[in-house]
Chain A
Amino acid sequence: MNVLTQQKNAPWRWVFLAVSPWFTTMYAEMIGGAVLTLTLKKFIDNPALINGLLSINVLFNVLIGAICLYISDHIWTRFGRRKPFLVCGWIPFILAAIFVPLATSMYMLVPLIVLWMACQDIGSTNEPLQQEVVPPHQRGRAGAMFQMIIQCVVIFTFVVVFGRFHEVWYIGGHALTGEQGAFWLAAIFLITTILMLTFFVKELPVKESKVGEKISLIRFFKEVFGKKELWPVYMLVFAQAFMRTQVGAIMTLLFVEQWDYSPQQMGTNMFVGALLTITVSFIVGSLADKFSRIKLYIFGVVSSLVVSIFWYCFVQFFLPDHRPQLWQIIAVGQVVSVLGLIAGVVTQPLMYDYIPRDAMGTASAGISYVRSLTRWVTLMGAGAWVTCYSKYFCAKGEYDYFSVYIYMMILTCVGIGIILNFRRLVKKGKLIAYGRIDIEDDTPAEKTDSPAEAEKTDS
């Protein structure tokens, strides 16, 4: 009755069990964002410090997550190769989730958060484990299940859990806060997922495994960053990370602390936004293949920038109290989300157009590194920006979290500049769309004298 890896076909019940841990990981990820921000806010006022602490997660993605994934390819134990990481990582993760809401000072909370973030990344072998259970021909539908799970997690986290952060219930003489509920639920999910994986999932040994191979991180990095043909792709990723800057805790603080909306109102905003996004994404997805990728991408990011500039001017110069209504936030959020979706839909195909087909795996690792490191730097920058901006432009002790929009707009402009330069190089023929050429024509990429045609074929 075990769910086995490496099968030709997996029953759908297996697929469901294999995909279900995503609920736990996504929930932990979301709690580690919005809810942890408010928990940190109990002890720390400085947004740079809050964002800095929360962005450790991104740094650990590359320092711990990627390395655990790499090592898991090179080992074999009687319990498998992915499961040991999950179990070893998640047990301290559970302890962190239990104790975070009980912390009474910053000095107790910060080590717990570091433990939380580190252990979360040790458990990143969940994804390959799931992929090993689900055979390739079933992964499309498993992906749909995953998308469904994400939407369920968004609704559950923001509508049910996040809105209760400030509330307290007295049960049998004991006080239980919504904050404790949020973190302890994560612990419950983690415990049941560990039990499920331990009892029901069995890993089978792989024929062409890398067990016994020498683990060399230097060779790994040489392979990833040494190939010159991948550098333009990394530049593209770098630009994308700039244009879709995530500001982490700042958005929660803007909503709850500066605009004075309750966590429940923020949850409602996310809920209505998620419902609208699901509807709109179908339309955007169907249109995406009909236009040139790079043009569509530039259209997406430039119009996002225009909307952001409009939104900033509207709030900062038109609204006298600088506080938009909830419906205005949802309306503008949806427009930005649709434009982001347009850019997002073509992001992956556009990037893979410029990767040689024999370097997909190496490129994926490199992309992940460049994206995570850029994200980490931009996240840290967002907190530092708000702190510095507030120091010069706000009354003492006040923070203008909305100023993060200026930071985002500057980064988007830099990103657009890089993309336009990328496009110029493509047109000049200095960059070759290896990925497309391999598929569209059997002639070797190097011999194609008109790489710009690849661009033309887009239209």
Chain B
Amino acid sequence: MIKKCKVLLFPALTVLFLFSAWFFGGEALTIAIKGERSEGNIVALVRCYEERCDLLVDITQELTLEQADGAVISAFVNREGIQRLDDYAKEHLTALNAVKGGKADGIQRFLQREADKESDERIVSVLRTERAMLIPGLPTPSAAPKMLDAPAATNRDEVITTIQFTYIGGTDEEAELKTNVRRDVSRTLNGKPVEHDSQDFILHEKDYRYSFRPVFTYQTAQGSAVVLADIATRKSPRGGHRLGDAILAGYMPETPEKAIMLSDFSSLKGRTFLDSINEFFNLTFGRWFFSTVSLLLAFVYFGMSWITISLTIKPPKTENADTVDKEALKRMS
């Protein structure tokens, strides 16, 4: 009996992990192979902190960049990108792009790089005001698509985060604050000031208990569908999973509400070598992590099964080395 159990151990594990690979990725695999594909985009993010979830439906930004010569560049950013640009601002698109997304640390580093330039057009301060519209207190995350369908009836919170970054390198203030970029952070909820630990914008939390889960929309033959994604990211949304980002949706025509966000490998084009390796791993394992790992385990245990079965069928001849205590061995047997 024990011998049979031993022989069956690794084959059983192989089957178990094959089953587990199917459990974790079977449905997505069926959609990826047999289903329809459609382009869509992310329309909202479910932002959860422990048990509480809010639905982040819109983010706009106002950017004001000040140059060393006193000139000011300003722009308005919504989910479609940078808007309302005058001719002068168009010349400084690179700078605007560098500060429009990303976390506060990134803007600080941008200002430090700018300070290294000798031109009078270098940026010396950035003011980013970010307005986020939230539907507070979702009963469950799965209620998010329905909440989006009836926006007028729902109560909305407005969270405004304003951060003023000023380069203070070479001043007395630098020695006092021990940094060359001063940050003045303020956050309000419906006009009232609130304290927040992260000292950053709403999509960039310090705490791992925050998670951001996309809600996406896509077109089917019957019309558009809104679906809550089955993947999320902690601390801040992953690149390509932010409000307004384009996605590739996969779905079965009979169940459009069960659509999934597929990995779009065409996004690897035009990236640098390291960046494309990185994104390739992100796209592959970001979607198929548990199923890939289960398959790998099944493969390894299949190899182990082969070895253990072969040892049973054709046991090797053994010869004890001189180190073995033959007397003790006799007693043991």
> Do A and B actually bind?
yes
Tell me the A residues contacting B by CB distance below 8 Å.
1, 3-4, 6-9, 11, 13-14, 16-17, 20, 38, 41-42, 76, 78, 135, 156, 159-161, 163-164, 166-171, 175-178, 181, 185, 188, 192, 195-196, 199-200, 204-209, 260, 262, 264-265, 267-268, 271-272, 320-323, 326-327, 330, 393-395, 398
Are A207 and B304 touching (Cβ within 8 A)? no
| Minimum Cβ distance to chain A for residue B309 (Å) | 9
Kindly state whether residue B80 has any CB partner on chain A within 8 Å.
Answer: no
| Minimum Cβ distance to chain B for residue A101 (Å) | 11
Partner of B230, one of A13, A41, A156, A169: A169
Are B307 and A167 touching (Cβ within 8 A)? no
Task: Determine the main DSSP class of A at the interface with B.
Answer: mixed
Are A208 and B323 touching (Cβ within 8 A)? yes
Q: Nearest residue in A to B199 (C-beta to C-beta)?
A: A397
Are B281 and A207 touching (Cβ within 8 A)? no
Are A321 and B329 touching (Cβ within 8 A)? no
Residues of chain A within 8 A (CB-CB) of B320 are: 4, 6-8, 204
A17 to B322, CA, bound (A): 23
A78 to B297, CA, bound (A): 32
* 29 CB-based A-B contacts, threshold 8 Å: A1-B7, A1-B315, A6-B323, A7-B321, A8-B321, A11-B316, A16-B307, A42-B208, A42-B209, A78-B332, A135-B321, A159-B285, A160-B281, A160-B293, A169-B24, A169-B230, A169-B290, A171-B230, A176-B290, A177-B234, A188-B297, A204-B329, A205-B324, A205-B332, A207-B324, A271-B277, A322-B109, A326-B274, A394-B179
User: Given A42-B208, A204-B329 in contact, is the A267-B281 Cβ separation under 8 Å?
Assistant: yes
Q: Nearest residue in B to A16 (C-beta to C-beta)?
A: B307
Are A164 and B292 touching (Cβ within 8 A)? no
Partner of B322, one of A9, A164, A207: A207
Are B231 and A265 touching (Cβ within 8 A)? no
Q: Nearest residue in B to A393 (C-beta to C-beta)?
A: B178
Residues of chain A within 8 A (CB-CB) of B324 are: 6, 204-207
Number of A-B contacts (CB under 8 A): 167
A3 to B311, CA, bound (A): 9
Q: Nearest residue in B to A205 (C-beta to C-beta)?
A: B328
A11 to B318, CA, bound (A): 9
Given contacts A156-B296, A264-B282, A322-B112, 12 further A-B contacts (CB under 8 A): A13-B311, A159-B285, A166-B235, A167-B233, A169-B230, A171-B24, A181-B293, A195-B9, A207-B322, A264-B278, A321-B108, A393-B178
| Minimum Cβ distance to chain A for residue B197 (Å) | 10
A188 to B235, CA, bound (A): 27
Are B177 and A167 touching (Cβ within 8 A)? no
| Minimum Cβ distance to chain A for residue B53 (Å) | 12
Are B274 and A163 touching (Cβ within 8 A)? no
A161 to B328, CA, bound (A): 46
Residues of chain B within 8 A (CB-CB) of A156 are: 296
Are A163 and B281 touching (Cβ within 8 A)? yes
| Minimum Cβ distance to chain B for residue A266 (Å) | 10
User: Given A6-B320, A42-B208 in contact, is the A268-B277 Cβ separation under 8 Å?
Assistant: yes
Kindly state whether residue B213 has any CB partner on chain A within 8 Å.
Answer: yes
Q: Nearest residue in A to B13 (C-beta to C-beta)?
A: A192
Residues of chain B within 8 A (CB-CB) of A11 are: 316
User: Given A7-B320, A167-B232, A321-B109 in contact, is the A178-B289 Cβ separation under 8 Å?
Assistant: yes
Are B319 and A9 touching (Cβ within 8 A)? yes
Are A168 and B297 touching (Cβ within 8 A)? no
A19 to B1, CA, bound (A): 27
Residues of chain B within 8 A (CB-CB) of A260 are: 103, 105-106
Q: Nearest residue in B to A207 (C-beta to C-beta)?
A: B325
A396 to B4, CA, bound (A): 64
Residues of chain B within 8 A (CB-CB) of A192 are: 13, 301
Are A1 and B312 touching (Cβ within 8 A)? yes
Kindly state whether residue B6 has any CB partner on chain A within 8 Å.
Answer: yes
A188 to B290, CA, bound (A): 13
Interface centre among B106, B238, B322, B325 (most CB of A within 10 A): B325
Are A166 and B289 touching (Cβ within 8 A)? no
Partner of B323, one of A207, A327, A398: A207
Kindly state whether residue B34 has any CB partner on chain A within 8 Å.
Answer: no
